[in-house]
A and B are shown apart, each in its own frame.
Chain A
Amino acid sequence: DIQMTQSPSTLSASVGDSVTITCRASQSFSSWLAWYQEKPGKAPKALIYKASSLESGVPSRFSGSGSGTEFTLTISSLQPDDFATYFCQQSDSYPWTFGQGTRVEIK
């Protein structure tokens, strides 16, 4: 199984900051990685797919990169609506697995 280790688990930041969340995989794969945003009481929402493709309707301040064993999600200028939990998910091989999540909180 591919284990996805996300860091940090919590991130404190201010509006306007640039933040980066990292997912490290226990084995290498190419690009079948997605990033999601989750808010309390709501279904998760896809932000990035295939490691770097921006989901339709998602602001361009969100970007994804990486391959192999290290993938990153960057929010270039944090907005009030961005305070949420983010998690990665690989679909390169079964069983598909998720990172444990990164909570982005207001500093």
Chain B
Amino acid sequence: EVQLVESGGTSVQPGGSLRLSCAASGFIFSDYYMSWVRRAPGKGLEWVANINQDGGARFYVDSVTGRFSVSRDNAKNSLYLQMNSLRVEDTAVYYCARWDGRFFWGQGTLVTVSS
């Protein structure tokens, strides 16, 4: 069974840092593009970042470029999102997702940025 389990979400102050993790199982992790998608409270979904199969290509939405970094460890079947210089507007549920023409989603982890 394909599973994506996010962890690392918590409350943090503006300007702080956080690292989200996503543990993948049930498929050959190294075969797939992986993504992070978020939903802020009361808002729609926003794609955040992509990483290709070997980690050599990474893409970001403009609002996180320079602050967030996506990475992966294929040996550990894990995806990561390093979030620095966090802002109140980064408050959201963050989903890890496998991409192959459509997303297969994890359950999400909540990040709250508040003073």
Alpha-carbon distance between A98 and B62 when the two chains are bound, in angstroms: 15
Could you say which residues of chain B place their CB within 8 Å of the CB of A53? 101
Query: How far in angstroms is the closest Cβ of chain A from B6?
Result: 10
What is the chain B residue whose CB lies nearest that of A101?
B44
Could you say which residues of chain B place their CB within 8 Å of the CB of A43? 95, 105-108
Could you say which residues of chain A place their CB within 8 Å of the CB of B103? 34, 36, 44, 46, 89
Query: How far in angstroms is the closest Cβ of chain A from B96?
Result: 10
Which A29-54 residues have a C-beta within 8 angstroms of B?
Answer: 32, 34, 36, 42-46, 48-50, 53
Alpha-carbon distance between A44 and B97 when the two chains are bound, in angstroms: 10
Alpha-carbon distance between A24 and B105 when the two chains are bound, in angstroms: 24
Could you say which residues of chain A place their CB within 8 Å of the CB of B95? 43
Q: Is the interface of A mostly helix, strand, loop or mixed?
A: loop
Could you say which residues of chain B place their CB within 8 Å of the CB of A98? 44-47
With known contacts A43-B95, A95-B62, A55–B102 Cβ distance under 8 A: yes
Alpha-carbon distance between A10 and B75 when the two chains are bound, in angstroms: 44
Query: How far in angstroms is the closest Cβ of chain B from A66?
Result: 15
Interface size bracket, A side: 20 to 34
Q: Which of A42, A96, A99: most chain B CB closer than 10 A?
A: A96
The one of B45, B59, B62, B108 in contact with A87, judged by C-beta atoms closer than 8 angstroms, is B45
Tell me if A97 is interfacial: C-beta within 8 Å of chain B.
Answer: yes
Q: Which of A43, A45, A87: most chain B CB closer than 10 A?
A: A43
- CB-based contact B102/A49 at 8 Å: yes
Mask, B61-83, CB within 8 Å of A = 1, is 11000000000000000000000
Tell me if A100 is interfacial: C-beta within 8 Å of chain B.
Answer: yes
With known contacts A43-B108, A94-B59, A34–B102 Cβ distance under 8 A: yes
Alpha-carbon distance between A95 and B99 when the two chains are bound, in angstroms: 15
Could you tell me which B residues sit within 8 Å of A by CB distance?
44-47, 50, 59, 61-62, 95, 99, 101-108
Pairs A-B, 10 closest by C-beta atoms: A49-B102, A46-B102, A43-B105, A96-B47, A34-B102, A98-B45, A49-B101, A95-B61, A100-B44, A44-B105
